[in-house]
Structure 1
Amino acid sequence: MKSTVETLEPTKVRLTVEIPVEELKSEMDKAYKSIANQVSIPGFRKGHVPARIIDQRFGRAAVIEQVVNEVLPGQYSAAVSEHELRPMSQPDVEVTEIPSTSGELTGQVVFTAEVDVVPSFELPEYGKDTVIEVDSVEVTDEDVQAELDALRGRFASLKPIKRQAKTGDFTTIDLVATINGEEVDSVSDVSYEIGSGTMLDGQDTALRKTHAGDVVTFTSTLKGGEHEGEEAEVTITVKSVKERELPEADDDFAQMVSEFDTIDELMEDLKKQAAQTKTSQQALQARDRLVDELLSHTEILLPESVIELELNHRLGADASAKEKKEARAAIEKEYRTEILAEELAKKNEVQVGQQELFDYAIQMSQNYGMDINRLFSDPQQISAVVADLGRAKALIEVLREVTVKDTEGNPVDLSEFLGLEDEAAAEEAAAETVAEVEKAGEELADEK
């Protein structure tokens, strides 16, 4: 195979791939055999029809077409790897030449593929002189009270009310969405907390000041299903309204929810939990601000067509100019962060171990009810997860190499969140390669 690349635009290239017919012999033989097993021709046993007879009856072009369809994806991927391209969309492929369709088999397959790409870029320098500033960890009385209120909320009871509904109340509702008078979606007996914003835009406003038995109607953009992004008229029937009644925070409560005998002991433990939460948030902030710092010194060009496609996918047609601007900024930041992390992973030769993938799968299973066997039975999904973990590990590697300080200038120790630091331990943790991970996935799929 021979391939060349031509830059059409800063973020678009055209690959030209040439495959001599000699390199297609095994695929041609497979195609002839496949066709011979499918057709019945008088005078020949099924599966034993000579290639020349297939050419006479069906035309060699049909065989070549089957071969091209079979080899093109792999040859395209090989050319992408050879030229170290980073595609951002599906290629626009055109087959411009095929081998001879009669007589002696000669010639070649030639195809072009135009694709949006991210051009190569230079990673910024970083090291101990790179300082990442994060917020100081200071636990306030409000933080501890928030922990206590969250704990009380887990043991709260719901009490029916007669007053108007307000933010924080729990409703049981039936919901029907219609477009042009035709019902497109509906749910019944759904519990919904007013103010949570977990369903439709405008729903919280519609439910405030209602009572059990009320029916309210509003217009909103659907967020899922085949009509996602379309504007619908939504009718909600309020079946009940309840308020959350929190238990008294006293010694009895402390004994019921913890191993402590008094509320004072529980409050002291909640203070430690609040500190731990803030420390975790500090680590996430360090990661995010590291990304911001690196991106501020990196020029990563993105294809405009890719941004527009994602923008249209996320926003409805009636989105305001402000919403579009904010969404565009978020999309560009997401893409640049992912591309930056990929380049860092490549630079640092980051590998993902089999145990890391298993741990991630277990976590996803617990958090989202995902079937682990389903994850490992899909090679593409495994590759995507490995890539995600690789990007995350790359940022951790960089965090180890920079200096993190709080707003008061104090060094911040993130070792608890960065994992193993010495090289030997890190190599042992990543000893299982991505290939072994995929092999384990195939074994699980076979067992399934």
Structure 2
Amino acid sequence: MKTSVDGLADTRVRITIEVPSEELEPDLKVACSESESPAEAGANASIAGFRRGKLPFRAIDQRDAVVVLSHGVQGAILSLVSAAAREHGLLPLSRPDVEIVSCGGDDPLIFTALIDVRQKIVLPDLSSLVVAVDPVTVSELEVDQCIDELRQQFAVVQDVDRPVALGDTVHVVVYASVEGAEIQASRASGILFDVGSNQVIDAPDSSIVDTLHLVSGLDTLLVGLSVGESVRVSTKLLSGAFMGREADVTFTVASVRYRQLPEFNEQFASFAGDFGSPEQLREHMRQRLVRFKYIDWLRVVRTRALASLAEASGVQPPQGVLQDEVEHRKQWMLNGLKEVGTSLAEYLSLEGKTEERLYDELREAAEHRICGQLVLDALVEAAGLQASHAEVSEVVTHRARRVGVDPQSYYRQLVEAGGAESIRVDLLRAKGLGLIMQRLTVTDNDGNRLALSLMDVL
């Protein structure tokens, strides 16, 4: 086999391979023996210009012998491409795009394969990485809000005979009209609205409910209304047959409820969590907030560390891999929207985005993910990191239990789906990320060094 490589870019190459036809003959015979039509395409078929038993790949394809090409020749070609890549020290990242240059008779098979490859990555000293982030902070106001949310859970709700005030829970009836004609599908009753937070607590399945989130200052409009009174506003509908049309939306107060919050005292602290004092409960809520914020903070540090490492290494995402990742993300999003009964146009209208902006966001996210994986793979290789069988088994067991499946059955399904290797890869990448986090320096925006330990944050 003769091979040559032409570099089209740092991450894309064309491999030209020339192989004697006899090297592929065993694969072709096996494929023909497994195919009923055309089962005789090899030794028994005859095509003008070629001797019996010496059919070219292109002629086989033209005679609809797809099974022969995919089962026999294609497998052999992929093996040849892999061997050629190893010969030239290339790491393929995508399935090759193969083009047959010439074949037939006793002539050698000559074909080219376009593939995305991992560029040569030179990693900097990890201890030279510096990531600047805001420190984890929790304000007294945030603690107060957290405590108020806890008090809301133990609030006593009762009907009141007075106009709506901030803090009330209001039942409203909603309907909309376009150019004076009421939209029957938009009528909704029994919507439970929290005045003051501008949040819908409970609502039936109605296309008009989404518009409540678009009405600016609805809390203020409802305040002062008594039962039976209404307020009308104009807004664009978010869904349904009249999506995007300007509509008159009427909100009628059906009932007013007042939420009586318990006092924040020793009795409440004991009842809410068996705390000895309000101060202990307050400190508990503060630490809880710190833990929640710390998780997000670590995620930001990791993301910026990978981005910094990728930038310092000059890593570029292979275009073919990038396009596939963007398309995968877009399809995943479309499937999610379809499941909830929303179209792409409705989503873009709700988010205030154009399709071009959405594509740019998907592309940027895909670039970050691919570049991060590439530098992690290079780090794993450079550091000689390994994943033991026991470590892989532990991950498999954890994932299986999380979805309620027997670990052996779960692993067997992974093998059948071709996903077993992904567990080892993910484990190695996690180790690589851990190595980065051990060696990098984290500072605030003023350059002051920050600790990564949760205990130091607390």
Task: State the match for 2:4 in structure 1.
Answer: 4
Q: Is the 8 A contact 2:45 2:53 kept in 1?
A: yes
Amino acid at match of 1:162: H
1:12-411, aligned counterparts within 5 Å?
12-35=12-35, 38=36, 52-53=43-44, 60-61=55-56, 62=60, 65=69, 66-85=71-90, 90-100=95-105, 106-117=106-117, 119-127=119-127, 130-149=129-148, 151=150, 161-162=170-171, 165=193, 167-174=198-205, 204-205=213-214, 209=218, 218=236, 248=262, 249-251=264-266, 253-303=268-318, 314=330, 319=354, 328-352=363-387, 353-358=391-396, 361-362=399-400, 365=403, 372=410, 376-405=414-443, 409-410=448-449
Q: Is the 8 A contact 2:135 2:450 kept in 1?
A: no
1:272-323 CA-partner distances (Å, limit 9, x unpaired): 3333334444433432332243234232234557656766774979727766
1:129-182 CA-partner distances (Å, limit 9, x unpaired): 5444444444432343354355556667999623585622224243569xxxxx
Cα shift at 1:363 = 7.9
Equivalent position SS for 1:162: strand
Please give the alpha-carbon distance, in whole angstroms, between the structure 2 residues aligned to 1:2 and 1:141: 72
In structure 2, the CA distance between the partners of 1:207 and 1:141, relative to structure 1 (3 Å rule), is closer
Cα shift at 1:6 = 0.9
Task: State the match for 1:412 in structure 2.
Answer: 451
In structure 2, the CA distance between the partners of 1:13 and 1:220, relative to structure 1 (3 Å rule), is farther
Amino acid at match of 2:377: E
1:416-431, aligned counterparts within 5 Å?
none
Please give the alpha-carbon distance, in whole angstroms, between the structure 1 residues aligned to 2:422 and 2:320: 23
**Which segments of 5 or more consecutive residues in structure 1 lack a partner in the other structure?**
42-48, 101-105, 178-191, 195-201, 223-230, 418-448
Please give the alpha-carbon distance, in whole angstroms, between the structure 2 residues aligned to 1:336 and 1:305: 13
Task: State the match for 2:166 in structure 1.
Answer: none
Please give the alpha-carbon distance, in whole angstroms, between the structure 2 residues aligned to 1:358 and 1:350: 19
Q: Is the 8 A contact 1:19 1:110 kept in 2?
A: yes
CA RMSD of aligned residues (A): 5.2
Please give the alpha-carbon distance, in whole angstroms, between the structure 1 residues aligned to 2:110 and 2:251: 64
Please give the alpha-carbon distance, in whole angstroms, between the structure 1 residues aligned to 2:306 and 2:291: 23
In structure 2, the CA distance between the partners of 1:12 and 1:153, relative to structure 1 (3 Å rule), is farther
In structure 2, the CA distance between the partners of 1:7 and 1:256, relative to structure 1 (3 Å rule), is same
Equivalent position SS for 1:409: coil
Please tell me whether Structure 1 or Structure 2 has the larger radius of gyration of its CA atoms.
2
In structure 2, the CA distance between the partners of 1:27 and 1:295, relative to structure 1 (3 Å rule), is closer
Q: Is the 8 A contact 2:43 2:54 kept in 1?
A: no
Please give the alpha-carbon distance, in whole angstroms, between the structure 1 residues aligned to 2:448 and 2:256: 48
In structure 2, the CA distance between the partners of 1:203 and 1:12, relative to structure 1 (3 Å rule), is farther
Shifted more, 210-219 versus 1-10: the winner is 210-219
Cα shift at 1:18 = 3.2
Q: Is the 8 A contact 1:91 1:114 kept in 2?
A: yes
Q: Is the 8 A contact 1:219 1:233 kept in 2?
A: yes
Equivalent position SS for 1:98: strand
Q: Is the 8 A contact 1:173 1:237 kept in 2?
A: no
Q: Is the 8 A contact 1:98 1:107 kept in 2?
A: yes
1:346-380 CA-partner distances (Å, limit 9, x unpaired): 222333431452266258638xxxx9568625443
Please give the alpha-carbon distance, in whole angstroms, between the structure 2 residues aligned to 1:241 and 1:81: 74
Equivalent position SS for 2:384: coil
In structure 2, the CA distance between the partners of 1:325 and 1:39, relative to structure 1 (3 Å rule), is closer
Identity of aligned residues (%): 22
Amino acid at match of 1:144: V
The normalised TM-score by structure 1 is: 0.61
Shifted more, 54-63 versus 288-297: the winner is 54-63
Please give the alpha-carbon distance, in whole angstroms, between the structure 1 residues aligned to 2:20 and 2:260: 76
Please give the alpha-carbon distance, in whole angstroms, between the structure 1 residues aligned to 2:428 and 2:257: 45
In structure 2, the CA distance between the partners of 1:256 and 1:378, relative to structure 1 (3 Å rule), is farther
Cα shift at 1:60 = 4.3
In structure 2, the CA distance between the partners of 1:402 and 1:60, relative to structure 1 (3 Å rule), is same
